[in-house]
Structure 1
């Protein structure tokens, strides 16, 4: 099997980790939800050696993630858990949760299920970081994001770029408050929520 590769991950991993360095500075255990190719996990674990970085994804993506993990010397990088938003999450409490480019590729009921999972598994005063594109007041932040949304809906009608207001409301339901909204490359955001 060939090691999976995402150019987008390669492009955004450094800008993301520069924010995670201070955002997760008080954390010890991080769950990455939807590790995808595994590129982010390897880079972040190597750059943040004080954190225990737990990868996770649907089982079909584990072989690719493991190929990346096999090549890393990071001792703080954990093999992927099987995590499906529609089922109970196979772990206890963590200090931080990070996910990139997941909320727009699952249905909205699964977005709701994701936040329920965060509510169950994030420590008191824990931190949630969400990376990806969002709409503000139902408006796309760029023409390319509007085109991307159409492309997503052509693949699966339940997919799509989410309204930040709905995301914030779901987070608030789990006791999480938005503390930072960073503008990121390629018309993406990095949203930081803290459990109160």
Structure 2
């Protein structure tokens, strides 16, 4: 009997609109680090659709096993084995990359982990590289929908360090690392896809 793979309906729902943006952002050969691979559905879908990219999945050591079988079964030459990556621990197991993609991670991480993720990306992302960050975000301290407000309450009830992050706070972290907000694209279910671009002034 075939092993049932971990599955996320949200990944299935949002992968097409995310890909529409990634096609435009990652239009040249590049090595892209995915932070928070989860079930691996995004990694397989994007690597298959973007064969000019070398897609590097990664996830927290406690969760990296969730995607391993799906990634192996995909058999894609441009889809690398998953890395165990704890964003809050140094050193990271990868020294340089041309792009970064992360979905639904900043509201799960504690704020110090979000800060360190931006710091490490700023130091390791090549000049003119893009960091694409997907998820729900607040604007000027306000929720964009009742569903996001309820989701935030659910997160904070699970763990007080979780919660939907504000774009102004993320922008502050990004600018400190030479990452400029290039685009902010509306996505389904009150989510956004933020595109940060590294500059020649990043540390």
Q: Distance in 1 between matches of 2:66 and 2:161?
A: 26
Number of equivalences: 196
Say which of 48, 54, 57 aligns to 1:46: 48
1:102 aligns with 2:105: yes
The alignment's TM-score, normalised by the length of structure 2, stands at 0.94
Structure 1 length normalisation: TM-score?
Answer: 0.97
Contact 1:95/1:123 (<8 A) preserved: yes
User: Please, what is the CA RMSD of the aligned residues?
Assistant: 1.0
User: What residue number does 1:143 align with?
Assistant: 146
Query: Hey, what's the Cα distance between the residues in 2 that align with 1:154 and 1:62?
Result: 25
2:158 to 155, 160, 166: 155
Equivalent residue number for residue 186 of structure 1: 189
Q: Secondary structure at the match of 1:43?
A: helix
How far is the alpha carbon of 1:19 from its aligned partner? Answer: 0.6
- Give the distance between the partners of 1:107 and 1:73, measured in 2 at CA: 34
- 1:143-172: per-residue Cα shift (whole Å, max 9, x none)? 000000000000000100001000011000
CA distance in structure 1 between the aligned counterparts of 2:38 and 2:14, rounded to whole angstroms: 14
**C-alpha separation in 2, matches of 1:34 and 1:148:** 19
- Residues of 2 paired with 1:3 and 1:106: CA distance? 25
Matches within 5 A, 1:4-23: 4-23=6-25
Question: Which consecutive unaligned segments of at least 5 residues does structure 1 have?
Answer: none
Distance 2:145 2:64 in 1: 33
State whether residues 37 and 61 of structure 1, in contact with CA within 8 Å, keep that contact through their aligned partners in structure 2.
Answer: no
Distance in 1 (alpha carbons) for counterparts of 2:81 and 2:124: 18
Ranges of 4+ aligned residues in structure 1 off by more than 3 Å: none
Gaps of 5+ in 2: none
